[in-house]
Structure formats: C-alpha cells, structure tokens
Structure 1
Amino acid sequence: MDDIAERKSEHIAIVTAGRGVQDTRGTGFDAIRFVHNALPELSLEEIDTGALFLGRRLAAPLMVSAMTGGPREAGRINLVIAEACGALGLALAVGSQRVAIEGRGAGGLGRELRAKAPNVPILGNLGAVQLGRGMGLDEARRAVDMLEADALMLHLNPLQEAIQSGGDRDFSGLLTRIEALARALPVPLGVKEVGAGLSASVGQKLLDAGAVILDVAGLGGTSWARVGAERGDDRLRRIAAPFFDWGIPTAEAVAAMAPLMRSGTKLIASGGVRHGLDVARAVRLGADLAGQAAGALPAAREGAEALTVHLSEVVEQLRIAMFCTGSRDLAALRRAPLA
C-alpha cells in the first residue's frame, strides 16, 4: 500500500511537470469551429452559463476532474479544489478512494470536502477492476458516505494497469458486477475512462447496465502510458512507447456517445480540455459537462486563490464563446452553427 501512495505522489509530480501530456491536438477539439456571429443581439452580461447536474445548480458546465487519490499531498490539493469549486459553484470529482477505503490514509477524502463545497456535486471514485478483487457494495457505500457524495464513478483503465508495475490486469466479469452495483447503490453510478476514451459500443453496454453518468476521458490529455514509462526502467519504456498516443480522441468520443444518451443520463467530456472554448465545443458536441484535470493541477498545487482565478478564466472564456455565437444559454449553444 505504501507503494501505491508513492506511485500516486509520483503521478502528481509527473503530470504537473507536463511529462505525461499527449499532443493536445489529438483531442479533436481544434477541428470544431463555430461560425462567428458578428451580430449576437444580446449582452455579454445576460448570458447564462448555468447548468443542472445531479439535482444541483452549477454556475457553468465545468467540473474539476479526478486527479489525486492517496498521497499526502492529495489531502491539501483536494481541499483546495473543494474550496475553489464551492466558491464558484462548479462540480468536483475526486481521485481513487481505494487507499482511504483500505484505511491507509484519507488523502483529504473526507467530509471536510463537503464542508468546503456544501452546494455543489461531489463525485466519488473507485477502480472498476477492484470489483473483481473483493470490493463491492459495502466499499462503494463507504466511498459515498465518506464524502457525502452525490454519485460514485468507477474508473476503467486497462492500458494504465497493463503498463504500470504491479497493475491490476484482470478485467474479466466486470460488466456484470457494474450492473449489480448500479442496481444496489443508493446514489447514481457512473463510469469513466482515464485518458484513452470510451467507445460508443462500450458506452452502450454501460448504459444498458445501469450507469447514468459516462465520462469519456479521451485521448489528448494525460497519457498514462507516458506517465507509466516515466516511472519505469528501460524495458518498460520500450513496451509503453507505442501506446503513448493510444485511444479515442475526446471530441470524437463525445460526438459518438451523445446520440446514445437517454433521459436522466449525463455525458461528461474530459481529456485535454484546455480552456473555455474547449468547454463550449464539448457542449456543442453533446456533453452536459466538461471536466478538467491536468489543466487545473498546477493552479491547484499553488492554492485555492490560484485555482479560483484559473477556473474563473475558463468560465469567462466559455461566456465569450457563447457571446460570439449568439448563444444566450447552453441550450442555444448546443444549436450554434459550426463552420
């Protein structure tokens, strides 16, 4: 377990230093171009960026995505994220709660997060692969209760597990276990990838199994193959190298998944979201929210004030994109003409 904590601490350092980033052009977002509206016929100040998610009103369709889970530094980072998201009215999703569930350090994953962010959605997080290694409903309930979370996300990360030393590599039988957990859990269950994307076929299976939130977490953000290689020896780096840019581009994954979403389900676009224009592009493609992780991590490590400034700028960029497309609200943005 100490190895897990050390590994996650190294992950934070590698991602912050930019050594795990894929080519952000790989997201596909830059290919999405809006038709500029030189006569928007509305005031910038009257634009409503608000969104509804898990029964809570958000100031914008933005979430600080899962990025930490276990190391000592995570305690401070998680509190910083909660404080900034609580102040701005944005959603937050924590990193893996496995270490906390197994009693090896809370990592800031306790009810102090809810105290700092009492009115916004908080999403818990466990590895789906752990459902085949002894975790089940009891652990999922504990993950929800320790945060007073609005939902629980299960992360799927076969590429990361295949490459990293000591990875959990048996993903057999998980869909049946996900379905059983979705039926029994008292809060909504979601599923996310961690940087390689969810395909439409996998998304359809997860929706059929009862998942109500899907986070595509696609290609173009953090490459966990690169992160794993950074931590490994020469042999591991050689094995990992062909997979540095493996995955489904985020924009492509969102566009493919959006038509499959049903009433009451939510789609999150994460993976290489750089700024508010990418948020606007994600919404236009059909996402309900956009999630940012690595893009927010440097500011989160600096402190709540820096993160608040960063996220405020992302929201303002979204507002400008809406203004320049004549979109009074998100419903109008979803109909904005594309070039």
Structure 2
Amino acid sequence: MISDRKLEHLKICKDYDVEHTKTTGLEDITLIHRALPEVNYDEIDTSIELLGKKIDSPLIISAITGGHPESTKINSNLAEAVENTHIAMGVGSQRAGIENEELKETFTTVRDKAPEAYIIGNIGAPQVEYAYDAIEMLKTDALAIHLNPLQEIIQPEGDTNAQGYIDDIKEICENTNTPIIAKETGAGICGEDAKILEKIGVNAIDVQGVGGTSWAAVETYRADDASLGNLFWNWGITTAVSTVDVCENTNIPVISSGGIRNGLEAAKAIALGASCVGMALPFLKHSYLGHTYIENKIEQFTQELKTAMFLVGASNIEELKQKRLIITGKTREILEQMNIDTKKYTRRI
C-alpha cells in the first residue's frame, strides 16, 4: 500500500543514513569577502517574491511527507512554523490522499494550520492526472510535479515507463492558472531538460541535486536486493552544477535544493543564480519535536544567511545574486567541460 510505503520512507529518512556520499559542490564556491560592506545588518531584507507572492525568506521547506496517519502531526508542525515565520513549504506526493479519503487529512492539515502561508502541492509525473485534485485539496499557491526516475527504477514497486511525461506536463501547464514547478528528487536537472520544461510552460524549476538525501539509498533499504541501489546511490548531478546549468539555460525562477544545510550554503546557491533554496531533511529531524523547534531552525538559517549577506555587502536578495564569487575544484572542472565560463562570476562588479 502507498500509505505503508510513506511510513517506511519516513522511518528510513529519520533513522538511517540516506545521504549521498558525494557532496553538493557548494564547498567549491567561495563568496568574496568585503571589508567595507556598507550594509546595516539590521536593515538586511531577506524577502523575495515567489511566483507572484511575497515571502519573508528565500527558504522553502521542501516536500517531506503526507499519506500516512503518522505524517499528520509532522505536517501540522511544519505548517504552523511556516505560518508563523512567513516562509513557504511543500507537501509530499498527494496521490495517497487523492486515492484514499481517509488519508486526505494528512495533507489538508497543512492548509488548516497555515491559511496564509505559501503552500506548494505535489504530484508525481506518472500521476499528473491528479494535478487538479492536488491543487484543489490545498488551494495551493503552486504545484510541484516531481520527477524521480532514479527512485522509480530502484523502488520495488516503481513505475518505470517514463514515456509521455513531457506532453502530460505541458497539458497541465496549459490548463491551470496555478504556477507549476518541476522538481527533481535528488538527482538534479540538466540544462537540456530545463529548456524543455521552460518551453512547455513550467513556471519554475527545483533542481534538487546530488548532495543531500539519496532516494536510491532510501529504496535500497526497502529492496530485497540492495546491489542496484548501492551502485546508483550517488547517481546524478550535484546541486551546484545543476543550479548553474539550469540558470544558464532558462529564464524562469530556479530553486536550488539538494543537501543545502545552512544559510551560508543558501547564500552561495543564490549567488550562483537561484531565486531561493529548499531544505527538507534538517526539518524532518525537528518536525517530530514541535513547531517551535522548527521555527528555531528557521531563525538560525535566517541569521546565517543574513551574516553571509552582510559580509559580501548585500542588503537584499537581488543584490546577493550579483555578488562576486570564485568557483574552484571539481565544480569548476565540470562546468568548464560544459562550456560554462566560470570566471564571469568573479568578474562581476
């Protein structure tokens, strides 16, 4: 059953090592320190406009859960926290709540607890026919269509027919006024796919690259034979490379996610061109403890982000996106192999 699978996913993510052993690549990004920042820390503005709605921070609590009774409390705590801090959050795949009325509350609790917050719905590319129900269920501000071919191929009950995704996503984009976000689930998105997604009408792209939770790893713990999952544990494009590649090839907002763990890494991702960032696993760890613990984590993130902004002389997020940085190491090697000029980030004035 889908509900049982969702509970297994929660417990595995909470209790086991499910992160990539390959890093995000953000360690190869160095922001240029300013000894004369000419910025008042107390006046730094971290707010952004995300697809038509203002939020107080470029932080999204990425999709974590839904679809099992145990996830109701988690989603309630997360929702109360984002309502109180005026940030955005996504829910896990709503398929279970659409197919089973008894599980609907595991999702609707989010809108009940966060009537004014920016809520991102979620449905998988193989089930895009549920998109309209997903939007209606939560009166979503945006809908994420998640792309997870790696997870599907490792998952014992996975859907391995990926034909028709492009046409199906295009149809949703053409027939709803709700912004559509295409998101990966831990393997990254390349510039080639980003171009296709923008062309068919997607409004934003969440890269969710390698460096955080590996869903191949999660499914490895569930599989009878772990060999395939172990082999592909680190498959994909790092978050840093994916962020740059998608930003270079599209003109729509880019959400950088996948292993981002603090405000400094978020500042690096935004300086690379992202409009905002997503974090999931760190909030899952706090979600069992109550909304105040989540709010404390959000406040810590904001302090870290503002400190980085202060030290590079950025008074708002748009200024941060233009600040100089240096790309070194494997990330530089990969980007240059992709004919991306890494020096232009250093030459910014």
TM-score range, shorter-chain basis? over 0.9
- 1:180 lines up with 2:177 in the alignment: no
For 1:151, the equivalent position in structure 2 comes to 142
Q: Which sits farther off after the overlay, 300-309 or 35-44?
A: 35-44
Contact 1:56–1:120 (8 Å) recurs in 2: no
Alignment of 1:121-200 (within 5 A): 121-131=118-128, 136=129, 139-200=130-191
Q: Which residue of 1 aligns with 2:238?
A: 249
CA RMSD, 1 decimal:
1.3
SS at match of 1:296: helix
Give the alignment partner of residue 31 of structure 1, picking from 28, 33, 48: 28
Secondary structure of residue in 1 paired with 2:145: strand
Q: 1:197 to 1:168 in 2, by over 3 A?
A: same
Counterpart in 1 of 2:88? 91
1:332 maps to 319
Give 2:110's match in structure 1, choosing from 113, 118, 123. 113
TM alignment of 1:37-52, pairs within 5 A: 37-52=34-49
**Secondary structure, in 3 states, of the residue corresponding to 1:225?**
helix
Match among 227, 247, 260 for residue 258 of structure 1:
247
Task: Give the match for residue 257 of structure 2.
Answer: 270
Q: Residues of 2 paired with 1:141 and 1:49: CA distance?
A: 32
> In the aligned structure 2, how far is the partner of 1:107 from the partner of 1:65?
19
Q: Percent identity?
A: 37
How far apart are residue 18 of structure 1 and its match?
4.3
2:97–2:105 Cα contact (<8 Å) kept: yes
Match of 1:239 in 2: 228
**Alpha-carbon distance, 1:117 to partner:** 2.1
After superposition, give the CA deviation of every residue in 1:194-236 in whole Å (9 maximum; x if it has no partner): 0001111111111111111110010011111111111222xx2
Do the aligned partners of 2:120 and 2:141 also contact (CA within 8 Å) in 1? Answer: yes
> 2:334 is matched with which residue?
none
CA distance in 2, matches of 1:38, 1:328: 15
Counterpart amino acid of residue 48 in structure 1: D
Q: Deviations over 1:293-333 (max 9, x none)?
A: 11211011211011110111011100000001111111111
Whole-angstrom CA distance in 2 between matches of 1:336 and 1:283:
10
What one-letter code is carried by the residue in structure 2 that aligns with 1:128? A
Equivalent of residue 58 in structure 1, options 47, 55, 60: 55
- CA distance in structure 1 between the partners assigned to 2:49 and 2:179 by the alignment: 15
When the two structures are superposed, what TM-score results if normalisation uses the length of structure 2?
0.90
Question: Which one-letter code corresponds to 1:227 in the other structure?
Answer: V
Q: Please tell me the residue identity of whatever aligns with 1:246.
A: W
Q: Distance in 2 between matches of 1:332 and 1:256?
A: 21
Q: Which runs of 5+ in 1 are unaligned?
A: none
CA drift of 1:107 comes to 5.0
> Which whole-Å deviations, capped at 9, do the CAs of 1:53-96 have from their partners, x for residues lacking one?
12221111000000112111211111111110111111111110
User: In structure 1, what is the equivalent of residue 76 of structure 2?
Assistant: 79
Q: 1:304 — aligned with what?
A: 291
Alignment match, 1:319: 306
**Shift of residue 17 of structure 1?**
2.3
Q: What is the rounded CA distance, in whole Å, between the counterparts of 1:125 and 1:73 in structure 2?
A: 18
- Determine the C-alpha separation between the residues in 2 that align with 1:312 and 1:18: 26
> How many Å separate the matches in 1 of 2:301 and 2:26?
15
How far apart are residue 119 of structure 1 and its match? 2.7
What residue number does 1:293 align with? 280
Q: Which amino acid aligns with 1:103?
A: N
The counterpart of 1:21, out of the listed 19, 22, 30, is: 19
Q: How does 1:218-237 map to 2 (within 5 A)?
A: 218-233=209-224, 236-237=225-226
Distance 1:329 1:298 in 2: 30
Whole-angstrom CA distance in 2 between matches of 1:257 and 1:53? 17
Question: How many angstroms apart in 2 are the aligned matches of 1:212 and 1:54?
Answer: 8
Kept in 1: contact 2:191–2:248 (CA 8 A): no
SS of the residue 1:69 aligns to: coil
Amino acid at match of 1:292: M
Return the match for 1:281 from 249, 261, 268: 268
Aligned length: 325
**Aligned partner of residue 81 in structure 1, secondary structure:** helix
Aligned pair partner of 2:65 in 61, 65, 68 = 68
**Per the alignment, in what secondary structure is the counterpart of residue 20 of structure 1?**
coil
The residue type equivalent to 2:6 in the other structure is K
**Is the CA contact 2:68–2:106 (under 8 Å) kept in the aligned structure 1?**
no
CA contact (8 A) 1:82 1:117 kept: yes
- Deviation of 1:259 after TM superposition, in Å, equals 2.4
1:243-290, CA deviations, whole angstroms, 9 ceiling, x for partnerless residues? Answer: 01100001110101112332xx32111100100011111111111110
